[in-house]
Amino acid sequence: MHPDFEPILNWRLLAGSHPFPGPDGGTCINEAAIVAAGLPYRAIRSSADCPPCFSRPIAAYALGLNDAMPDDIRPQLMAFVLRLSGSADTPEVEAARTARLALESVRRILAPLCTLAGMAEDAEACAGAPDWSIALAAAKAAAWRGGALAQAAARGRRWREGALTAAVSRTATAAQRSGDDARCAAEVAEGAAPFVAGTWSQACAILDAALSLGRQAPEIALAGARERLDAARALAPA
């Protein structure tokens, strides 16, 4: 990933969908990718709104991150703006991408949250899961134990412990759904980020790993992408 895509492309990412880019950019990551690739602009409210050439699980995960990230962190996603158009692949590859997003979210995001909450056994099970079926079982166990510990902490008025273990339960529940819906994998990052430093960087690394599977987007010249983005800005309503 090029570390300077955000300043080079001169585009501002915002949470939510937008009917047309504003003067400062003002789109989600998938909308920015559409403009950069020279495709007809469209507002994106879900991955189903993306052009057929976009990988659905990748687009869903990227959109989930885009909408959950704080404004000062969201520019990290600009490193992916040229990698989305043309990434669609066979159902088998798309299923593998969904599984990778789910598995790595348990390994790399849920596990550190469990560690912080004092759930060492669950953290070890999540971090060491070799495949999605075992990661799913680990997430189910963490969700149950986190919920039980949160209730006990609430009864004892141990508020910090309760907040952490409740976050584990919510985040692990999202992780369980991520094997079917890649956007839920982004919810894992959203649940852990307030507690675990570096969560958003881990989420971007997970997105990069999933994009490395299967068909790679055709190379788009950086200068051409910049011209198309600048042209869209120039046409934006005042």
Spatial contact of 25 and 230, defined as CB atoms under 8 Å apart: no
Q: Name 31's Cβ contacts closer than 8 Å, sequence gap at least 6.
A: 17, 18, 21, 41, 42, 43, 44
Whether pLDDT at 1 is above 50: no
Average pLDDT, the chain: 90
pLDDT at 24: 62
Cα–Cα distance, 165 to 149 (Å, whole number): 6
Q: Convert 14-43 to b/e letters by CB count within 10 Å (16 or more is b).
A: beebbeebbeebbbbbbbbbbbbbeeeeee
pLDDT attached to residue 42: 84
How many Å apart are CA 100 and CA 213, to the nearest integer? Answer: 9
Evaluate if residue 198 carries a pLDDT over 50.
yes
Report percent pLDDT > 70 for the chain: 91
Dihedral angle of Cα 211, 216, 220, 226, to the nearest 10 degrees: -10
Tokens of 196: 């675990």
Range 30-53 average pLDDT: 90
Q: Amino acid identity of 137?
A: A
From residue 7, give the alpha-carbon distance in Å to each of 10, 32, 67. Answer: 5, 14, 20
**pTM for the complete prediction?**
0.91
Distant-in-sequence, close-in-space partners of 203: CB < 8 Å, separation ≥ 6: 65, 105, 109, 186, 189
Report the Cα–Cα distance between both ends of the chain, in Å, rounded.
33
Q: How confident is the model at residue 11 (pLDDT cuts 50, 70, 90)?
A: confident
Q: How much of the chain is in helix, strand and coil states, percent to nearest 5?
A: 65, 5, 35
Give the pLDDT of residue 230.
81
Can you list the positions of beta strands (E) in 87-205?
Answer: none
